[in-house]
Structure 1
Amino acid sequence: MNVKDIGTALAQLREQAPLVVNITNYVVMNNSANALLAIGASPIMAHSREEMAEMMAFAGALVINIGTLDRTWIERMTFAVEQANDTGKVVVLDPVGCGATSLRTNSARHLAALAERLIIRGNSSEIIALAGQTSQGKGVDSQDASDAALDAAKQLVEQYQAQVVISGATDYIVNAEGIYTLNNGHPMMTRVTGTGCSLSAITGAFAAIGETSGLAAAAVMSVAGEIAAEQANGPGSLQAALLDALYNLDAETLSKRLKLSQLS
């Protein structure tokens, strides 16, 4: 995939306005829903088991975010992934805090193993922990450089036949075809809760229109974050500027700004 392909995928997303089902954490429901709306998708934050089979029959993709996890949510997430499998939909797994506790680690591995069409989007410490390697996470925050997770990402690609997106100062998109790097974004994005969760949600939107590598979503989010940081005075104004940047982003801006390369 090249920059032109990413711009084409963005246009298709806005034309199709896919419905993305999100089982996500309480902290970021509003952020993720607004990010999806800004980019042109249609979000629904659905948690009820009673409607999930019906919901996944007409939705485009399922995003699972384990940020505020408990036993009831694990059961609902499991059922939702089963329904996504039954309807051939992509599951985007955001393993928030994987490695911090056994509950999070075991639940993330269970959901990853269950999903038949899987994209994993996490920070480096989460990706390392999900693969069973030793990470240096602090709660939900990563203490590992993004390139430190490359071996773990390759393992997850093979283990789960997944696409893997590692978020960090440099973003890495890892799949069976190779590794891409993105060097956009801004450090201020780490000072706003939910930017990674919003990326996971947008990854679901692109997956719903057939772009399942995770690359287009990471490219769009990193360029939008870079633009937003140039306009913001701090984390508070960055949140609003990020939504505006997502809404106004176009193929020409992506072409001018995107720092994309392929390692292999």
Structure 2
Amino acid sequence: MNPDIIQQARNNTPLVHHLTNQVVVNFSANGLLAFGGSPVMAKEMTEVADMAKASDAVVLNIGTVLESEVPAMIAAGKVANQKGIPVVLDPVGVAATPFRQEVIERILKDVRPTVIKGNTGEIASLVDTDIQMRGVDSVGAGNVDDIAEQAGKKWNTAIVITGKTDVIYTDQQLIYNQTGHPLLANITGSGCLLGSVIAACLTTSYPVSEQLHAALCFYGLAAERAAEQPDVKGSGTFLPNFIDALSCAPKQLNGGPNDDI
């Protein structure tokens, strides 16, 4: 992990425009604030273009998407593309229903994401590969490397597939991240907040491959640090400790001194 990416993102205090699902609005906002970014949540069609123009990155997350929200997502994404700022697309549960598949197809028709982030089943759905889904969760494995590469080539974008080992595909290369903790799977919105942290890191001056690896590695290390705290007894006590850990310097997460990068 390149710690300078984390520091530069914090120095930027990037304004990240979220068009995200209602379950995770508060968690994503607090988590991004702890990390060092500035969240804004705006889905009203009459203001999304203006908000995207004022932002440094845009997150599109279809977790609880309504038909009425899709045009706003597309409008924000198109403005972000025109402005040249990062777009993170999170196709939550895209394989679960035909409606979600249609929504993602409509978004991808008009918006060019910087990165598409999802679990194996979600990304597999984007390349017509069958992975067993339960609700919005993937319960199959599949050949994750091949799925990431196929999706990246099909949609001409970087791909992040989250799991026990995270897989990044960008610039015709595969990169892996093995930091993290099982408790992340027991809190609602851990993947959604990861999208926010990724968006913040994408505002830095480094190559996308380094930005994505830094975001995933840091996020996983923060989870590991949170889980190690003596008061953590389960997911309920893990969550606030995780928010705290997101504000740490990378050296702290790696077991180093409690100082800046």
Instruction: Report the RMSD for the aligned CA atoms in angstroms.
Output: 1.7
- 1:11 maps to 2:17: no
Residue matched to 1:74: 70
Note the C-alpha offset of 1:244: 0.7
Residue matched to 1:217: 215
- 1:32 maps to 2:42: no
- Structure 1: runs of 5+ lacking an equivalent: 257-264
Identity %: 35
> Where does 1:98-177 land on structure 2 (aligned, <5 Å)?
98-145=94-141, 148-177=143-172
Letter in 2 for 1:244: D
Residue matched to 2:249: 249
CA distance in 2: counterparts of 1:148 and 1:193, whole angstroms: 26
Structure 1 runs of 4+ aligned residues shifted over 3 Å read 210-213, 251-256
CA distance in 2: counterparts of 1:220 and 1:73, whole angstroms: 31
CA distance in 1: counterparts of 2:108 and 2:249, whole angstroms: 32
Note the C-alpha offset of 1:150: 2.1
How many aligned positions are there?
251
TM-score (norm 1): 0.90
Residue matched to 2:225: 227
Contact 1:220 1:254 in 2 (8 A): no
What is the DSSP-based 3-state SS (H/G/I as helix, E as strand, rest coil) of the residue aligned with 1:97?
Answer: coil
Letter in 1 for 2:226: A
CA distance in 2: counterparts of 1:167 and 1:210, whole angstroms: 24
Contact 1:118 1:160 in 2 (8 A): no
Q: Relative to structure 1, is the Cα distance of residues 221 and 254 closer, same or farther in structure 2, using a 3 angstrom cutoff? A: same
Note the C-alpha offset of 1:242: 0.5
Contact 2:218 2:250 in 1 (8 A): no
Residue matched to 1:262: none
Note the C-alpha offset of 1:255: 8.3
CA distance in 2: counterparts of 1:110 and 1:22, whole angstroms: 18
Residue matched to 2:239: 239
- Structure 2: runs of 5+ lacking an equivalent: 257-261
Note the C-alpha offset of 1:148: 2.7
Note the C-alpha offset of 1:168: 0.6
